[in-house]
């Protein structure tokens, strides 16, 4: 029997590895997790509960902007949190049951405990030591709080705190405007009625997007909510105000300085791999630099795999699952004397910006990344307002862009920042991953539906090809 130990079996990545290996003859599994209630970050404090609370803000936002509706609804924060908690417990129970069902198999055991390495092939958990042929580390990530001077002297709220908040102050300063900030800033402004100052280090938000999308996102935020987004600036120092609030000094790229004050500081500054307490210092494994290869094996110990947020590669839910599947396949290859294969990911990200009313999605290449890769491309860009259906649905803001290989018409990528861009992305995923020629995509208008925008992009790109 080949013994595989999975540390972090409740999370998306760990559960994916377990589900792939459990049915395989000759594999003995020990699944370890100390989670309570168990379920992993996405279910407990990440993408699932955040979409739950965003939906409440989205309903208010759309009702508030529709002059055909009378009266302005308010978000009941207590009811929002109560329903979120109820659903989270249900989702977590489903994940737990799935993992525990695997442990009903003859060669699978679940240990509800924390785990640490004793040496390269030995793990301690639940008061005993376990010898392993392979170890999979899937311990996820934890909130990252920067070491900005003065941060320990002020009160701050993280994304987890916001998801549980039943009261919010009148104003706030936001540090961190990546995925987490893009999603939670409009929630705070809409559901809490807050006035917010959001610090943006770059010229615009959404680093992975072509510039026009970041510019459009900033415009949507500042036009629709009481949000100010100073750009090209960095946090210098924090201090508490006499009335219990927070003061932040920032410096801009041009050397100028500004001071902002608010009732509350919000740290949406990302996450870091959860490595503390694993005992990696007792192994050959160093986590400095790129410590995990594209095969999901650690650089220093090819029998130890690290999948999901813990490897620091791409902290996205579907990527964590795919890395788990890849690790399971590579363990089987390695055991059979074959060469492990690298995990190859096609870029597919969604940010539920604008309360999910105006989500950003990208599949495959942006124009910038395609040109950086040396590809000759043609592109087409359409504003949401170019297609009447967006206006008819009272969501007129946003844009989309298609990137096509200029030599053979292959669809290379797409970006959308508009209503239901998250759903439209699936169609473009098929086009990109199947390598479709844009000229082969049927030119049919299913009016009045949102893919009318996609039809226009296709026509505009085809017109530029031989």
Contact 458, 443 (CB under 8 A): yes
- Running DSSP on this structure, what letter comes out for residue 236? E
Say how many residues make up the chain. 466
Tell me which CATH code domain 151-269 carries: 3.50.50.60
Residue 337: what pLDDT? 96
- Cβ–Cβ under 8 Å, residues 277 and 114: yes
Find out whether 425 and 361 touch, Cβ atoms under 8 Å. Answer: yes
Alpha helices in 38-178 (DSSP H): 41-44, 47-65, 77-102, 159-163
- Check: CB of residue 81 under 8 Å from CB of residue 52: no
At the top level of CATH, the class of 359-462 is alpha beta
In order along its 466 residues, the chain shows pLDDT tens digits of 999 999 999 999 999 999 999 999 999 999 999 998 888 888 888 889 999 999 999 999 999 999 999 988 999 999 999 999 999 999 999 999 999 999 999 999 999 999 999 999 999 999 999 999 999 999 999 999 999 999 999 999 999 999 999 999 999 999 999 999 999 999 999 999 999 999 999 999 999 999 999 999 999 999 999 999 999 999 999 999 999 999 999 999 999 999 999 999 999 999 999 999 999 999 999 999 999 999 999 999 999 999 999 999 998 888 999 999 999 999 999 999 999 999 999 999 999 999 999 999 999 999 999 999 999 999 999 999 998 899 999 999 999 999 999 999 999 999 999 999 999 999 999 999 999 999 999 987 667 788 889 999 999 999 999 8
Q: What is the pLDDT of residue 38?
A: 86
Q: Which of 355, 339, 294 is nearest to 319 (CA)?
A: 294
**For position 103, what pLDDT does the model report?**
95
Q: What's the rounded Cα separation, in Å, for the pair 110 and 6? A: 10
Q: What is the DSSP letter of 410?
A: B
Per-residue DSSP letter, 317 = H
Sequence ranges of the domains in the chain = 2-142+272-335, 151-269, 359-462
CB-facing half-sphere around the CA of 261: CA atoms within 13 A: 7
Per-residue pLDDT at 387: 87
Could you read off the pLDDT of 4-41 as tens digits, one per residue?
Answer: 999 999 999 999 999 999 999 999 999 999 998 888 88
List of long-range contacts for 347-352, beta carbons under 8 Å, 24+ apart: 347/208, 347/413, 348/318, 348/425, 348/429, 349/208, 349/316, 350/421, 350/422, 350/425, 351/179, 351/182, 351/183, 351/206, 352/50, 352/51, 352/54, 352/182, 352/183, 352/422
Q: Strands 304-306 and 227-228, how do they pair?
A: unpaired
89 exposed, middle or buried (CB, 10 Å; 0-12, 13-18, 19+)?
middle
- Identical fold at 2-142+272-335 and 359-462? no
Cβ neighbour number for residue 252 with a 10 Å cutoff: 13
Task: Report pLDDT for 444.
Answer: 78
Answer CATH for 2-142+272-335 from 3.90.226.10, 3.50.50.60, 3.30.1330.120, 3.40.50.1470: 3.50.50.60
The token duo for 423 is 């759903």
CA distance 33 to 139: 9
């Amino acid at each position: 029997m080949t013994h595989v130990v999975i540390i972090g079996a409740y999370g998306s990545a760990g559960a994916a590895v377990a589900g792939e290996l459990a049915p395989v003859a000759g594999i003995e599994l020990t699944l370890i997790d100390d989670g309570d209630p168990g379920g992993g970050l996405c279910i407990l404090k990440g993408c699932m509960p955040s979409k739950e609370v965003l939906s409440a803000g989205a309903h208010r936002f759309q009702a508030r902007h529709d002059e055909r509706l009378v009266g302005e609804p308010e978000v009941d924060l207590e009811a929002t949190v109560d329903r979120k908690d109820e659903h989270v417990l249900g989702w977590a129970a489903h994940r737990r049951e799935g993992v525990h069902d695997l442990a009903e198999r003859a060669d699978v055991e679940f240990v509800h405990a924390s785990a640490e390495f004793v040496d390269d092939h030995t793990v301690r958990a639940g008061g005993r030591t376990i010898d392993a042929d392979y170890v999979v580390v899937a311990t996820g990530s934890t909130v990252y709080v920067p070491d900005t001077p003065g941060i320990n002297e002020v009160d701050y709220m993280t994304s987890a705190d916001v998801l549980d908040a039943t009261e919010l102050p009148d104003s706030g300063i936001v540090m961190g405007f990546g995925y987490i900030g893009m999603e939670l800033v409009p929630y705070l402004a809409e559901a809490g009625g807050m006035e917010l100052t959001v610090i943006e280090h770059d010229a615009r938000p959404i680093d992975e997007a072509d510039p026009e999308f970041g510019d459009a996102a900033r415009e949507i935020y500042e036009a629709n909510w009481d949000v100010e987004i100073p750009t090209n600036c960095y946090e210098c120092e924090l201090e508490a105000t006499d009335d219990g609030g927070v003061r932040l000094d920032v410096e801009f790229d041009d050397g100028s300085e500004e001071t902002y004050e608010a009732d509350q500081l919000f740290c949406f500054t990302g996450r870091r791999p959860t490595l503390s307490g694993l005992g990696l210092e007792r192994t050959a494994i160093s986590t400095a630099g790129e410590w995990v290869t594209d095969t999901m094996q650690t650089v220093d110990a090819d029998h130890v795999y690290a999948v999901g947020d813990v490897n620091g590669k791409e902290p996205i839910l579907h990527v964590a699952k795919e890395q788990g599947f890849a690790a399971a396949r590579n363990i089987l290859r390695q055991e059979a004397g074959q060469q492990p294969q690298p995990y190859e990911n096609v870029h597919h990200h969604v940010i539920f910006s604008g309360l999910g009313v105006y989500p950003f999605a990208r599949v495959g290449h942006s124009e910038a990344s395609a040109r950086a890769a040396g590809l000759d491309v043609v592109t087409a860009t359409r504003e949401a307002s170019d297609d009447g259906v967006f206006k008819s649905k009272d969501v007129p803001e946003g844009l989309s862009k298609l990137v096509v290989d200029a030599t053979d018409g292959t669809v290379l990528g797409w970006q959308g920042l508009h209503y239901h861009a998250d759903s439209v992305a699936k169609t473009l995923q098929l086009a990109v991953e199947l390598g479709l020629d844009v000229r082969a995509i049927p030119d049919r208008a299913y009016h009045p539906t949102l893919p009318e925008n996609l039809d226009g992009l296709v026509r505009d790109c085809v017109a530029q090809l031989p």
